[in-house]
Structure formats: C-alpha cells, structure tokens
C-alpha cells in the first residue's frame, strides 16, 4: 500500500514543478514592481531604484531567465525571496497560511461530508419528497457565487442580532482585541469562525451533493447491488455496504480537484469577513507588483492541489483495490 501513493506522488512532481515555475514566470512578466517608486515625491534616482530591485530580484530590466534562475535556486534551498518591503516572504507566508487553513479546512470538511451524505440519501429516495427538497435547496447554492452568499449570510446574521437584541453573531477578524488564549478567547474565535465556515461549507455542500447523487444513481441498479439484495440484504443495507462504497470512489477524485476552486472561494471569503490570510495578501501583492509573494502563494496553491490529489489517490485505492493493482502493472 505504501508504494502506491509514492508512485502517484512521483507522477505528479513534474507537473507540480512546471505549474510553480509558470506561476513565477507569469507574475514576473506581468507585474511591475518599479511602479511603486513612481508616485514618490521626490522620486528616487534610477540607480537607487535599480539597486533596490536588484537586491530583491524584482528588477524588470534583468532578463526573465536570470530572475527565474535566482528564484528557483532560492526555492531549492528553502528561500522564497523577499517582499517588496524587503521582509522575508517565509515568515509572513506561514502566518497567513495558518489563518487561511483555519478558515478553509473546517468548512471544506463539513461541506464535503454533508454533501456526500445528502447526495447519497437523495439518490436512495429518488423521486420522493426528500429528493425534491434536497435538489431544490442545492440549485440556488450552486447558482449563487460564494462572495454573494457570504454577504447574504452577513445580512441575515445582522438581522438575527437585531431581533435577539444581542451580538450573537460576530464575523469580522479572528478574535476581539485583548482576547488571550483562555476559554473566553477560544469561544470568541469559534463564534467569529462560524459564519465564514458556514459560507464555505454551503458552497462545497451543494457541489458535492449533486455530484454524489449522480454517482449514487449509477449504482442503484448495479449487478452487485442486486446480488446483495438477492442474498437477503435489505435495500438500505445493500446500498450502504456496497453501493455507497462504489459511488464514493469517483467522488474522491472530484473533490480533490475542486480544491483549486475552494482556494479561489476562500480568497473572496477572507476579504469579506476581514481575515488577514493568503487571499488578502495575494490581492495586495498583485496590486503593488510583489512578484516573490505572488509566486510563493502560487507554490502553496500547487502544493495544496498536489496533496489533495495524493489524498484522493489513497482514498480511491482504499475504496477500490483494483486501482492499486492496475497502477503497479508494468505492462499492458
């Protein structure tokens, strides 16, 4: 079993390196760090600006290939370069990444889990009231962009606070000023995390629900389900023991490769809920032409998709052992 994920990881390393390199090359070619000095009064001499940008490997007058070699050599040694302000990218990257993970992971796990359960239940109740209600609820969530959904939830929470006469729902920032690591601080952080988590969870739930329902419908009348029922299993037991496992296998692949859309949705969610995470940093860095930061965030996104794909392969191999044996064959 250990050899299977290693083989899959090795097969994804080259595309991951190419994607990270492309992220840097696009950022270096499109962004203009020099523009940040043009609005200063008095404007620094060109020689001073060139020296500053050369020190940060941000000088657009240096050939792109030379800048890429400098950046790639630093990445191989664990150095992601420096920001436009001269600060190391690494330290701020880890802090921002922690904020984003605390925002994204709970909502993604909750949304995917509930989506799979609701999708399987709707398929088992095909054509009945429960199926119609789940379908009716998922379509609006699919149609509404995540940033609109976030604003709608904020409006609803604000009205709920007004009706109850208390600030039950709070959503701006991670914690209130002065709150430490005690129980009150933990409760405050959880309360502020509730609305962003629900936003991401609802967006993921709708997508996973519709896809899982389709996958489950494909196995309702499969031969192995009918055989299990012929051996005496009830319909629910046959679907849960045999049908759901078969329907989950393609679902793992689908969920893994929606991680890119999840990161995009998290960027909007961070801005709307006042979280100082990767999404906010990316927007700020693009605005001021901070190439090294944009490239670093691109690398993190590539690693995230790579790890999601690896987790998908492992889960797919657990659910369907034929994948592991087919992957290990050398010949046709």
- Residue 264 confidence class, pLDDT cut points 50, 70, 90: low
Percentage with pLDDT > 70 across the chain: 88
Specify the higher pLDDT residue, 254 or 128: 128
Together in a domain, 246 and 126:
yes
* pLDDT over threshold 50, residue 159: yes
Same domain for 293 and 273: no
Residue 151: closest CA among 171, 131, 168? 171
Same domain, 27 and 159: no
23 and 141 both lie in a single domain: no
pLDDT digits (tens, 9 = 90+) for 15-70: 888 989 999 999 999 988 888 777 777 778 888 888 988 898 988 888 999 999 99
Same domain, residue pair 78 and 109 = no
User: Are 193 and 296 members of one domain?
Assistant: no
120 and 34 assigned to the same domain: no
Beta bridge partners of 309: none
Q: What pLDDT, on a 0 to 100 scale, did the predictor assign at position 169?
A: 81
Could you tell me which residue, 78 or 41, shows the higher pLDDT? 78
Give the SS3 label for residue 82. strand
DSSP state of 182: S
Residue 330 pLDDT class (50, 70, 90 cuts):
very low
Same domain for 61 and 197, yes or no, is no
Smallest CA-to-CA distance from 298 within 284, 278, 312, 318 is with 278
User: Do the Cβ atoms of 55 and 81 come closer than 8 Å?
Assistant: no
Name residue, tokens 């050899």: 3
Lowest mean pLDDT segment, chosen from 67-76, 139-148, 172-181, 249-258? 172-181
Q: Are residues 5 and 43 in the same domain?
A: yes
Same domain for 307 and 234: no
Total domains present in the chain:
2
Pick 6 or 181 by higher pLDDT: 6
Mean pLDDT of 209-220: 85
Q: Buried b / exposed e across 171-204, counting CB within 10 Å, b at 16+?
A: beebbeeeeeeeeeeeebbebbbbbbbbbbbbbb
Cis peptide upstream of residue 249 (ω within 30 degrees of 0):
no
Same domain for 240 and 115, yes or no, is yes
Q: Give the 3-state secondary structure of residue 59.
A: coil
Is residue 63 within 8 A of residue 156, CB to CB? The reply is no
Average pLDDT value for the chain: 82
pLDDT score at 301: 85
Model pLDDT for residues 80-121, shown as the tens digit of each residue: 888 888 889 988 898 888 888 888 888 888 988 898 889 888
Please report the pLDDT score of residue 67 as a whole number.
93
CATH number of the domain residue 164 falls in: 1.10.3720.10
Q: Examine the domain organization and report whether 127 and 274 are in the same domain.
A: yes
Task: Give me the mean pLDDT over the 187-215 stretch.
Answer: 86
What's the pLDDT tens digit per position in 134-145? Answer: 989 888 888 888
pLDDT on residue 214: 86
Which DSSP category does 144 fall into?
S
pLDDT of residue 294: 92
Q: What is the distance between the alpha carbons of residues 70 and 317, in angstroms, rounded to a whole number?
A: 40
86: left (phi over 0), alpha (psi -120 to 50) or beta: left
Is pLDDT larger for residue 185 or for residue 205?
A: 205
Domain around 47: 1-84+289-332
Average pLDDT on 291-320 reads 82
pLDDT at 323: 58
């Amino acid at each position: 079993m250990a050899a299977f994920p290693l083989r899959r990881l090795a097969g994804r390393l080259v595309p991951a390196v190419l994607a990270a390199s492309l992220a840097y090359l696009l950022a270096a070619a499109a962004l203009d760090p020099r523009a940040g000095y043009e609005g200063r009064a008095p404007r620094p001499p060109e020689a001073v600006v060139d020296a500053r940008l050369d020190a940060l490997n941000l000088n657009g007058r240096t050939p792109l290939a030379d800048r890429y070699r400098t950046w790639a050599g630093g990445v191989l040694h664990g150095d992601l370069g420096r920001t436009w302000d001269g600060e190391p990218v690494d330290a701020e990257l880890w802090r921002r990444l922690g904020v984003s993970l605390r925002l994204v992971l709970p909502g993604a796990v909750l949304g995917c889990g509930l989506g799979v359960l609701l999708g399987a239940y709707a398929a088992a109740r095909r054509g009945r009231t429960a199926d119609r209600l789940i379908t009716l609820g998922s379509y609006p969530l699919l149609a509404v962009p995540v940033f609109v959904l976030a604003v709608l939830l904020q409006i609803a929470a604000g009205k709920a606070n007004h009706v109850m006469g208390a600030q039950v729902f709070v959503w701006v920032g991670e914690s209130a000023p002065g709150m430490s690591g005690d129980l009150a601080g933990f409760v405050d952080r959880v309360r502020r995390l509730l609305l962003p988590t629900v936003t991401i969870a609802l967006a993921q739930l709708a997508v996973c629900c519709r896809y899982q329902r389709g996958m489950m419908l494909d196995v309702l009348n499969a031969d192995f389900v009918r055989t299990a029922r012929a051996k005496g299993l009830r319909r629910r037991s046959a679907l849960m023991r045999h049908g759901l496992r078969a329907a989950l296998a393609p679902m793992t692949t689908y969920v893994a490769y929606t991680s890119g859309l999840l990161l995009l949705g998290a960027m909007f969610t961070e801005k709307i809920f006042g979280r100082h995470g990767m999404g906010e940093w990316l927007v700020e860095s693009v605005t001021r032409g901070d190439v090294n930061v944009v490239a670093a965030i691109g690398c993190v996104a590539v690693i995230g998709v790579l790890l999601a794909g690896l987790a998908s392969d492992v889960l797919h191999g657990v659910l369907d052992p034929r994948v592991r044996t087919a992957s290990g064959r050398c010949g046709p």
